[in-house]
Every structure is written in structure tokens, then in C-alpha cells.
Amino acid sequence: MKAVICTKYGPPEVLQLREIPKPAPKKDEVCIRICATAVTASDIVIRSSRLPLRFWLPMRLALGLTKPRKPVIGMVLAGVVESIGQGITRFQVGDPVYGVTGFGLGAYAEYTCMKETDSMYGCLAHKPRQIGYEEATAAAYGGLLALQRIEEGNLQPGHKVVIYGASGTSGTIAVQLAKARGAEVTAICSTRHLAFVESLGADRVIDYMDENASPTAERYDLMLDTAGKAKSSKLKEACRKALRGNGKFISIDDGKLELSSRRLNAIAELIDAGKIKPIVDRVYPLERIAEAHAYVESGHKRGGVAVTIEMGS
């Protein structure tokens, strides 16, 4: 089968298209024909190994000291169940599925095998019916990140929430999830994304690039930082100070992303009910995945970046 392997840590060009053996499912695994994967912020970190010093050694120990131990990287997939082991109960051959492979990686390929149970090696669910495979990759990654934090924040109808970094994969879904829960949403993004983020349903949008921007006179119940701790501005700090006394600040970088098929099912239900729509900025073919990495690394995408995997491409 075709796969993109990460030959060593480095720039996007370390990614190479190769022919490698197709995997076969074990008793407790499904084999998925991957129709689309995504290039995420996490993939950039894995490929480049550009990490703050304190994370460098733990990450290298987990992923491979001198080069990735699992050369086929990629954490997000949407596809069709191609074959199943005897112990599989949740899926049948032909089921459209979507999920995140976590430390299992392996999504930059025509096929991969995963367990049907949740673990640090992935979570899998039936794909939302109303969207394509490319959009399903944004739903899996952005949806899991956003829903986990919204649940942790215990967001309730009528709450005032500020979403910082509202134009990214998780931010675009966080804005829609918060509206679906009946919250009042202030969304923060760069100048060029203001109208787009407003179109997602935000009640108010503020430009973090505007030196004079202020968090308005609101007191917020919750601030969700979907951009991550490395991305900041004067406005981010001002919003944090505008939290109510018992208001919470939650960053997408606080603790681990939980790989949860319960949350994937909840996201699929919301998508099929028309309550949220995952956003895909660009779609690349597998052969041009290095270009997708360079684009994501530029830091200002709108929603997710997907990669289509054609059979025999």
C-alpha cells in the first residue's frame, strides 16, 4: 500500500511517499481503508520535533530518540472498515468511520488497523452521515479537542464564554458547540478571520491584532484558549482578567487530549442534526502532504487541513 513515511525529524521534505506492506487486523482490531487524513498542529510537532526544552526528552522517548519509531505518522482518519478481527462487535465491514489514532499514529497511509476500544492508541466511531471524509477529519480532531474543554468548563445555557483562537480546527467547532449549548459567545481571532468567525454564530468577534481592542464590558464565566499557550496577545491577557470571580480559564494545552468514542458519537449526532459544521480550509492529495505541512506550519489556517487518499494514488 501507499504510505507517507517520516524518515527523520525535520522540515516538511522529510515526508516521503513509499510502498509498504498492508497491515492485517488482529482478533481485536478493525482494518480501515483510509479515505482522508489531516495535517494537524500535533503532526507538525511530531515531524519537526520542535518542542520547548522541558518536553523534548519525554517526547523523543515516546516517539523515537533519533527518528520516529513509527515512521508512518498521522493521527486523524476517516474511511471505511475493510476487514475485522473475530472479536469485533461495534463495527462491520463497509461501515464509514472516523477517529483519532493518538500514539498509534499510522494515518498517512491507505490502510491502518485499530482496536475498537478507546486507549492512548486511538478512538473510533461511525462517521457523521451528513459530511464527507475530509470534513470528518476536522470533526474528529477539532471536535474532540473542543468538546473535552467545553465539558470541563461545564458550559451552561446563558453563560458568557470567550473563545480565544476561534478560527482554528478546534476554535471553529468550539464556537458552534458553545452556541448549541445556549451560551453567549465572544470569539477572538485575527483581522482576516473576523467575518468568517461571525458567520459561525459568534455573538461578538474581536480582533487580537488590534492594539486598542478590549474584552468589552463583559464579565465572562469561561475563557477557552483554543489557540494554545504558545499563542498570545495583549487581548488574551485582558480577557483573562475579565473573568468573573468564579470564572474558569481552560487552555487546549492543559493536560492530555482524551481519546473518547463517546465524544466522537456526540459530535457525529450534532453534525447530523445540523447543529455544527466542521470547517476545512484546504484539501491536498497524499502526494503533496509536505505542502500541507508547510501551510499548517504558517500558523494561520482557517479550520482544518485535510489530505485525500485515493486508492493507488
Ligand X SMILES: NC(=O)c1ccc[n+]([C@@H]2O[C@H](COP(=O)([O-])OP(=O)(O)OC[C@H]3O[C@@H](n4cnc5c(N)ncnc54)[C@H](OP(=O)(O)O)[C@@H]3O)[C@@H](O)[C@H]2O)c1
Q: Supply the minimum distance, in Å, between the C-beta of residue 307 and ligand X.
A: 14
Give the residue nearest to ligand X (CB): 168
Q: Supply the minimum distance, in Å, between the C-beta of residue 208 and ligand X.
A: 5
* Count of residues touching ligand X (by CB under 6 A): 28
Interaction of residue 226 with ligand X, rule CB under 6 A: yes
Among 27, 54, 129, 256, binds ligand X (CB under 6 A): 256
Q: What is the dihedral of CA 73, 168, 127, 288, to 10 degrees?
A: -40
CB atoms within 10 A of CB 174: 33
Interaction of residue 168 with ligand X, rule CB under 6 A: yes
Smaller CB distance to ligand X: residue 88 or 305? 305
Interaction of residue 227 with ligand X, rule CB under 6 A: yes
Rounded Cα distance between 219 and 186, Å, is: 11
Smaller CB distance to ligand X: residue 22 or 248? 248
β-partners of residue 279 are none
Q: How far apart are the first and last CA of the chain?
A: 10
- 178-182 contacts, C-beta under 8 A, 24 or more apart: 178/150, 178/224, 180/270, 180/275, 180/276, 181/150, 181/155, 181/156, 181/157, 182/156, 182/157, 182/158
Smaller CB distance to ligand X: residue 128 or 168? 168
Q: Supply the minimum distance, in Å, between the C-beta of residue 28 and ligand X.
A: 25
Write out the residues near ligand X by the rule CB under 6 A.
40-42, 142, 145, 165, 167-171, 189-190, 193, 208, 226-228, 231-233, 252-253, 256-257, 299-301
